[in-house]
Structure 1
Amino acid sequence: MLLAALWVTGLLAYQLPGPGWLRGAAIVAWAGFAITTAVGVARARTGRWPGAAYMAALVACGVWWLLLVPRQDRVWADDVAQRLKVTRFDGRHVVLDNVRDFTWRNEDDHDVRWVRRQYDLEQLRSADLVMSYWMGPMIAHTLVSFGFADGRQLVFSLEIRKERGESFSALGGFFRKFEMTLVAAEETDIIRVRSNVRGEDVYLYRLQGMTREQLKGLFVSYLGEARKLDAAPAFYNTLTSNCTTIVYELAKQIAPGLPLDYRLLVSGYFAEYARDLGVLVPGVDFATLKARGRITERARAAGDAADFSRRIRQGMPGVEQGAVP
């Protein structure tokens, strides 16, 4: 009864329409009713009707939950306003529309630019795990940056699709508060905004041990996810559909035996999970990988330099030997 009462409380807090005072009043009324019913049950004094009313309320909330549907037509924040589109893909060459290439001066001052990009997957050379810490050591946003032979990088990031003026809530992510979107972006946008504008602490780790086909397979898996989210919206879930679990789910497509691990949920430790799987630079201890992979200061020093991607990788272990020939 307690778990059910807490779930309904969250549902009211994040899904009940109307002003804040109305949600507060509804939560207080529900809490009073749930506590009264629970005490009555515990003391074996409650009759048939309070218990039946409680169950009816749970069923009604369950139906409400099931009727919540994700949408594509809200007034979205600038940085998630467009959906990534796979315009053409023949197995080797891919054309992507709505790759993000913003110039950020601060959170509220930025140049909006969505561009078309073409890539030859035979030119894929590397993949880097990007960890951006925004709320202490346990929580990080996880991204993957793909490198090409001509020096270009493309970053994929699963994010909540915020409405204009909306901010992220980890608790709200349990209650279908947010849709999700897959962003593909230039590093000068999606990494730089985190390190240089939002003040997050960012780390890069070169992923190793993949064949060219596996590297291509991981990239193609992201294309599949982009197509799914373009065709039909989906809810973000803090536990099961977030920036870290998507990396795990896509990686499982090329390595089906990947084990489940608590670090898929405590995302700040996901790099250690990757280390234990043996996909980071071999022969270098994790403390060194982390220290040299911390790009925060290098990114801030690079600013809006044209060779931003090269500068942030200076001194990063595995950059030279990590490329797939």
Structure 2
Amino acid sequence: MNIHEKFFAEIGINYLILGALAILFQILIVNILNITNPEYLTDINILSGLSSFCNYILPFPIFYWLMKKLESFKLEKTRVKVKTFIMYIGITLTLMWIGNLIGLAITSLLSGAIQSDISNPVQQLINSADIWFNLIVISIIAPIFEEIFFRKFLIDRTIKYGAQVSIILSGVLFALFHGNLNQFFYALLLGGFLAYVYIKSGKITYTIILHGIVNFMGSVVSLFVSNSATAMQTSFNLADASVILIYFAVLTASIAIGIYGLSNIKKAKFNGTKTKISLKSPLKTMFMNYGMIIFIGFFIFEIIRQILV
């Protein structure tokens, strides 16, 4: 194993530790609550809040310490024009909807094959939790920490191998880390694109905002649209009809902007970002090492387990 394979193996182990810590903290806190305040375990908002606390806040210092051991490089910062940022919003929303459609199609096929419905844990959480939870945790807290974990920490350390390596790795790790098939495809597409935006701009705030918009549309807005659609089945209401019409207008405009943006994205260049280390076999070097194999195996197991639950 050469030094580059060892580097990516360490990356894989670090992200495996991040995932394992989140699970261990959740088990620990749930068991403590079961002894001290079992009534809290019946409140979906408390449970979901604790889950986010265990996923992001508690593992952060350990993960930061692990990643700090690896050499990092500062990206050149470039201001993104308003017009370009609007195009980025269109692309992120388009990729979200495309990824969701792919996920729904594949889970539907698998559900038919195993003759059992495959649950979507995130959608269940969104539908069950309070609207304020969806706004604060899913639309604000999650994007901040996930962008730091999967864009800032990861790309600052892998950009020496070039933008392409960083984008692929960011997308794959982000998708697998979600641990369920329903989210895998849109997380893969979004993770790769958000990596592109971060490398292009050098500013993590841009990707946090884009990530927040996607999560806001998928949680808060989707709840309003779903509730309006349900209400319209019994009686016509102008307010509900307006919500649905506005949503589909935004959907249409976003897809149009997104398709235009995607058709031009291949022309983009990464100003100031140079490949310092060229890999002969980048995919093999990135993924065919003990750290990444264990990481990928662990999260594939989690995805399979979620399918069979």
Both proteins in one fold, TM over 0.5:
no
1 or 2, which has the higher helix percentage? 2
Query: Of the two structures, which has the highest relative contact order with CA contacts closer than 8 Å and spacing of 6 or more?
Result: 2
- What is the TM-score normalised by the length of structure 2? 0.28
